[in-house]
Amino acid sequence: GGRSTAEKEVGGSDAAARQQAERARSLEMVRTPKELRKSTIAPMAGVTTVQASSGGEKSAYLMSGYLETKRKRALTSKWKRAFYALSDGFLGYWEDERRFLDKAWPKRTVDLQDCSLAMMGDSAKKGFCFGIFHPDRDPLVLSCPDEEARREWMAGVKLVLGLQDDTVSFRDFSILNSIGKGAYGEVFRVRKVDSGEVYAMKVVSKESIVNQKEKDDFEKELQRRKHLQGIIDVDAALQAHWTVESLQAERRALQVVDHPFIVKLHFAFRTIDRFILVMDYVRGGDLLSLLASKQRLPEPWAAFYAAEVILAIEYLHEMRILFRDLKPENVLLDELGHVKLTDFGHSKQATSLQDRSFSLVGSPFYMAPEIILGVGHGQEADWWSLGILIFEMLVGAPPFYDKNSNSAYKRLLTESIEYPHEVSSSARELLARLLQADSTRRFGGGVVEVQAGESKAAAVGRKWSCAWLAQVDWVELLKRQVDPPHKPGRRRRPRQHEAFVDF
C-alpha cells in the first residue's frame, strides 16, 4: 500500500532508475502531434519544459487536443467531441479549441488524483479508446482520432499520474528556523542549497492525526449537528485521515493555481513517513498580526485588502476551487503589503459551481450558517467568510466572537449583527449583503461574466460594484500597481540559525 502506479509497474531494486527512464521515454512521446496543438508542460522540478508550437509561450498544460467521450442523457448516451487539455493533476475540457485558446475557464475538470489508466477495447462504433478510472466515480472513456494520438494521450496521463518531484529531497534544503508548529506538523523557513532561494516548507507526518482536544471538539460538533439535522456528517469516518487528506487537498489546489494574491507551490515530495510542500516564504506577516497591532483598520485599508482577497477568491471559484477557510491568519502580506492567500487544507475541487458539499470544514467564527447546519454549501460560503473578515478588520473582532465555539455557533444562528457607530453606512450595506443567512440571496454568488473587450479584473469590479469598493481600480490592483496602505517590509524574526531536524 502507498506505492505509486509507476513504482508498481517498475518494481525491483533499481526501481528509481527504471522509473526515471520510463518518465523520460514518456516525455519523448508527449510531443505535439498533428492533432494535438499548443502542447506545453508546466515548468516543474524534474520535468523537461516543452515549448508551445507557436510563440514559445509556456502554459500550465502538458498536451491538448480534440477527443470524444460518451455523455449520458436520460436513457440514452452518445459520443460528443470536445477540446481537452491535460495539466499536472487535472484533465479539463472546453466546448471547442477557440474557447481554450481564449483562456476561458474549462467547462469541467476531472481530478486525476488516485486515478488509474487502461487501454479500452475498440467497439464497432468507436475505436482508439482509453479509460480513466477512480474508485468513487464513474469511469471516463475517451476516444482518440487515431492510434498514435491514443499512445501519446496515455503516455501523458501516465506521466501525470506518476508525477513526483523525484529530483528534490531534504538534502536540497538547509533548515533556517521553525516558523510555525501545530497539530498537523511544522513549517520551516528553508533555503534551497543550489539557488539560495528562501521558501516555506510544510512537513506533515503521514500517520499524524489531530490532537485529542481537536478530536473531542469535532465529535461534540458532530453530535450538535445530529441534534439539529438528524444526520451525522460522512466525514466523521475519515477523522483518522484528516491530516493526510488536508495536505493532499492543499497540494491539489496549489498545483493548479497561479495568481498574484495566492501563495505558489514550488516543490512537493514525500519520504517514507512524511509529506512535504515547499511554497513561497511570505515575509510581511499576516492580517491577524496587523490587526493585533492596530486594533482596527481604517476603511480604505480594509477595502484594499478585501478587494485583493476578492480577486483571489473569484479566481479560485473560476477554477472550481472552494477555499472554505478565509480568516485573518490565512491572509498573508508580502514585503510590499499585497495579500497572499495561504492554507488550502480545507479547500475542495468541485466538478461544477452547483455542487454542494456537506463537510464540516472551516474555522469557528468564520463558517457560514449552511456549513454549521450541514444543509450543503458551495462557493457562497466563501463570501460569508469575506463578510466576517471585513467586519473584523473594521471592528477588531468577529461579530459572533465567543470563547466557546458552540456558543458562537448558537449566536450566529440566532442573533442579528450589531454595527458600531464608527462603521460607515456603505460598509454596513455591503456587510448586510455578504452576511445574508440565506446563501441563495448572498452577494457574490455566481460566476464572473466577462463582456466583449473587457478584462477579467474589470468584470470582477463590475460584479462587485458597490459604494464601499467604488474607489478600487480593479485592473491596476490585479497588476499590483496600486500602492498598499501599509508596507510591512521584512518582519523581525529570530536570529537565523541552521537547525538540525531529524528527517
Decide if 56 is inside a domain.
yes
What is the domain count for the chain?
A: 2
What are the pLDDT digits (tens) for 396-445? 988 877 777 777 777 777 778 888 999 999 999 999 999 998 989 999 98
Check residue 352 and give its pLDDT.
66
Q: 79: buried, middle or exposed (CB in 10 Å: 19+, 13-18, 0-12)?
A: middle
Decide if 62 is inside a domain.
yes
pLDDT (mean) for 304-319: 94
Short-list 293, 297, 283, CA closest to 333:
283
Residue 273 and residue 133 share a domain = no
Decide if 13 is inside a domain.
yes
- The helix or strand, by DSSP H or E, that contains position 278, with its residue range, turns out to be strand 274-280
Flag whether pLDDT at 375 surpasses 70: yes
Decide if 474 contacts 462 (C-beta within 8 A). no
Residue 116 and residue 191 share a domain = no
- The helix or strand, by DSSP H or E, that contains position 165, with its residue range, turns out to be none
- List the 137-143 sheet strands across, edge first: 108-111, 90-94, 76-87, 61-73, 137-143, 129-134, 116-119
Check residue 165 and give its pLDDT.
52
Residue 454 and residue 390 share a domain = yes
Decide if 409 is inside a domain.
yes
Pairing of strands 265-270, 198-205: unpaired
Provide the residue range defining the domain that includes 448.
Answer: 170-478
Residue 388 cell numbers, joined: 466576517
Decide if 258 is inside a domain.
yes
Spatial distance between the Cα atoms of 376 and 366, rounded to a whole number of angstroms: 16
Short-list 90, 110, 85, CA closest to 100:
85
Residue 255 and residue 137 share a domain = no
Q: Where does a domain end: 139, 161, 183?
A: 161
Does the annotation list 202 as a binding residue? yes
DSSP annotation of 490 reads: S
Decide if 489 is inside a domain.
no
Q: 334: buried, middle or exposed (CB in 10 Å: 19+, 13-18, 0-12)?
A: buried
Residue 301 cell numbers, joined: 485599508
Flag whether pLDDT at 261 surpasses 90: yes
Residue 260 and residue 240 share a domain = yes
Decide if 44 contacts 51 (C-beta within 8 A). no
Higher pLDDT, 186 or 337: 337
Check residue 300 and give its pLDDT.
98
Higher pLDDT, 351 or 12: 351
**pTM (2 d.p.):** 0.62
Map grid coordinates 482509453 to a residue.
Answer: 130
Instruction: Give the rounded distance of the alpha carbon of 196 from its chain centre.
Output: 27
Decide if 486 is inside a domain.
no
Residue 231 and residue 89 share a domain = no
Decide if 487 is inside a domain.
no
Residue 147 cell numbers, joined: 492510434
Residue 182 and residue 117 share a domain = no
Decide if 178 contacts 186 (C-beta within 8 A). yes
Share of the chain above pLDDT 90, in %: 33
Check residue 66 and give its pLDDT.
93
* CATH code for the domain in which residue 429 is found: 1.10.510.10
Spatial distance between the Cα atoms of 311 and 323, rounded to a whole number of angstroms: 13
Higher pLDDT, 12 or 392: 392
Q: How high is the mean pLDDT of the chain? A: 75
* CATH code for the domain in which residue 143 is found: 2.30.29.30
State whether the Cα torsion 109-113-115-119 is positive or negative: positive
Flag whether pLDDT at 13 surpasses 70: no
Q: Where does a domain end: 161, 184, 204?
A: 161
Q: How many residues does the chain have?
A: 503
Residue 234 and residue 185 share a domain = yes
Per DSSP, the three-state class of 175 is: strand
Least confident of 282-296, 391-405, 448-462: 391-405
Spatial distance between the Cα atoms of 217 and 214, rounded to a whole number of angstroms: 5
Residue 441 and residue 316 share a domain = yes
Question: Which one of 88, 325, 334, 343 is the catalytic residue?
Answer: 325
- Catalytic, 325? Answer yes
| C-alpha R_g of the chain | 24
Residue 86 and residue 42 share a domain = yes
Spatial distance between the Cα atoms of 379 and 119, rounded to a whole number of angstroms: 36
DSSP annotation of 286 reads: B
Residue 419 CA: distances (Å) to CA of 10, 266, 397, 413: 63, 42, 12, 17
78 has which bridge partners?
Answer: 71
What are the pLDDT digits (tens) for 181-210? 765 678 999 999 999 999 999 887 755 534
Residue 383 cell numbers, joined: 463570501
Decide if 487 contacts 338 (C-beta within 8 A). no
Per DSSP, the three-state class of 438 is: coil
Residue 296 and residue 214 share a domain = yes
CB atoms within 10 A of CB 479: 11
Residue 113 and residue 201 share a domain = no
User: Looking at 74-115, which runs of residues are DSSP E strands?
Assistant: 76-87, 90-94, 108-111
Q: 373: buried, middle or exposed (CB in 10 Å: 19+, 13-18, 0-12)?
A: middle
Least confident of 39-43, 441-445, 451-455: 39-43
